[in-house]
Amino acid sequence: MYITTLLTNPETPCLDAAAVEALRNAWGGGDAQWLAPDVAAEFPMATVPENRWQVWEDMQALGVDLVVQPAEGRKKKMLLADMDSTMIGQECIDELADVAGVGARVKEITARAMNGELGFDGALRERVGLLKGLDAGVIDRVFEERISFTPGGKVLLATMKANGGYAALVSGGFTAFTEKVAAALGFDEHRANTLVVEDGKLTGVPGEPILGREAKIAALREISARLGITPAEVMAVGDGANDLGMLELAGAGVALHAKPSVAAQCDLRINHGDLTALLFLQGYACDEFVGV
């Protein structure tokens, strides 16, 4: 049995009941259940339709995300999340670089790395090198003035944790930011790279070893084993090429507002919804959300 979920941005709800019923009829699905009025609905099906991705394209044009996934085991016991451009709306290193006066160069490297055009480790070292001499106090200022949380993050964590879930933040960014984001959103633990500071200034060298794609996979395996669960019971979310490994290994790997080259390799793609989309995908209705 499979579940088809249709959802849109809660800020601009535009899911039409007639469209949901038309698709349900065309695909021979069971009764539709509304998870949130005008925002999210789902219905069961016996098989995956052959025209799934063509319909997905059509729905994208309407501002609607469409996901088809197995019905069994879709409520997950752990969330493993990327930070930059996933739990927050920015790339922290790009914001630091902007303050340091090297923003354009660093953003270019970041974009190429997230698209998978550059090796993550080398790209990180090059970008951190451009920050050499930056006052470490800038980190707090950047967090306070430039970083915004992706809508729905707190509700996502609060709801999953209220239902026995565990939440880990695993970032190719820096602990100077993950510790703040983890505390603000309610993550149980966080892992990231470190910025080496001497005499109050960044040295231009990241701490070793570099946490990239393989480290995210290792974190998924290590944390799930510690919790006594399998990777199949994990929902992972990210947007960049260095997230693909954990997205492929997790039972539900969600490409959230991801780079096109990344989204193309994932079955669960959210381009319009916010982080509460991850709750709808698990079958939670809006009246089950915690911390709203």
The rounded percent of the chain whose pLDDT value lies above 70 is: 100
The rounded percent of the chain whose pLDDT value lies above 90 is: 87
pLDDT in tens, 52-66: 999 999 999 999 999
Q: Is the pLDDT of residue 223 over 90?
A: yes
pLDDT band for position 48 (cuts 50, 70, 90): very high
Q: Mean pLDDT across the stretch 10-21?
A: 95
Mean pLDDT computed over every residue of the chain: 95
Q: Is the pLDDT of residue 111 over 90?
A: no
Q: Mean pLDDT across the stretch 247-258?
A: 97
Distance, in Å, from the CA atom of 172 to the CA atom of 192, rounded to the nearest integer, reads 6
Q: Comparing C-alpha atoms, which of 250, 271, 251, 273 is closest to residue 262?
A: 271
Task: Identify the pLDDT of residue 227.
Answer: 98
Q: Mean pLDDT across the stretch 66-95?
A: 96
Question: Which has the minimum average pLDDT: 24-33, 48-57, 126-135?
Answer: 126-135
Q: Which residue has the higher pLDDT, 184 or 261?
A: 184
pLDDT in tens, 141-179: 999 999 999 999 999 999 999 999 999 999 999 999 999
Q: Mean pLDDT across the stretch 217-245?
A: 97
pLDDT in tens, 282-292: 999 999 999 87
Catalytic residues: 82, 84
Q: Comparing C-alpha atoms, which of 121, 230, 212, 125 is closest to residue 170?
A: 212
Q: What's the whole-model pTM score?
A: 0.95
Q: Mean pLDDT across the stretch 96-103?
A: 90
Q: Is the pLDDT of residue 33 over 90?
A: yes
